[in-house]
Homo-oligomer: A and B are copies of this chain.
């Protein structure tokens, strides 16, 4: 059986859990509270030298890190990974953009506010500004489109929804983004997220 080390408050970890559940794949979930240093122990670092969750452990003991690489490993061959080469390329564009331009702002501000309990006044303005820039870009990408890539839900939607749906916990005002709000509902339905 697959094993996943993950923190249930982390969108990066939940992406993996949602995809496994949606595809009906059995797995063992090992809770890893990132705020306790459990991902920095010698035992964990031997499994993932990057000291990050989620971490997937295959039945033969091989390990795979990075949420979007894990999503791809799990979902390749399913309806959630396009076969058309250009659709695949655009899916990768969104997946890399998510980790570079969205997660470091939208997820980090939400972590600082909702999990670390930092007062709103102490959040670095640059993080909030770049978070809104990411939401602006996502809204533009969803205008006149139901899904980020092609004609149906893909792992790009799942990867992007993970922290976008909880952006209000970081005080981001999603009501400014009607296309995003509609899309969140569609993606939650498509992947059974509730």
Chain A contact residues, CB within 8 Å of chain B = 49-50, 52, 62, 64-69, 72-73, 76, 85-86, 89-90, 92-93, 95-97, 99-101, 103-104, 137, 140-141
Contacts and interface: CB of A to CB of B under 8 A. Distances in A.
B72 A89 contact: yes
Chain A interface, >50% SS class: helix
A101 B141 contact: no
A64 B52 CA distance: 29
Contacts of A85: 73, 76
Given A49-B140, A50-B137, A96 B97 contact: no
A85 to B, nearest CB: 8
Nearest to A86: B62
29 contacts: A49-B137, A49-B140, A50-B97, A50-B101, A50-B137, A62-B86, A64-B90, A65-B97, A66-B92, A66-B93, A66-B96, A67-B96, A68-B92, A68-B96, A69-B92, A69-B93, A69-B96, A72-B89, A72-B92, A73-B85, A73-B89, A73-B92, A76-B85, A95-B96, A96-B99, A99-B99, A99-B100, A100-B104, A104-B104
Contact of A64 (B62, B67, B89): B89
Contacts of A93: 64-66, 69
A69 B88 CA distance: 9
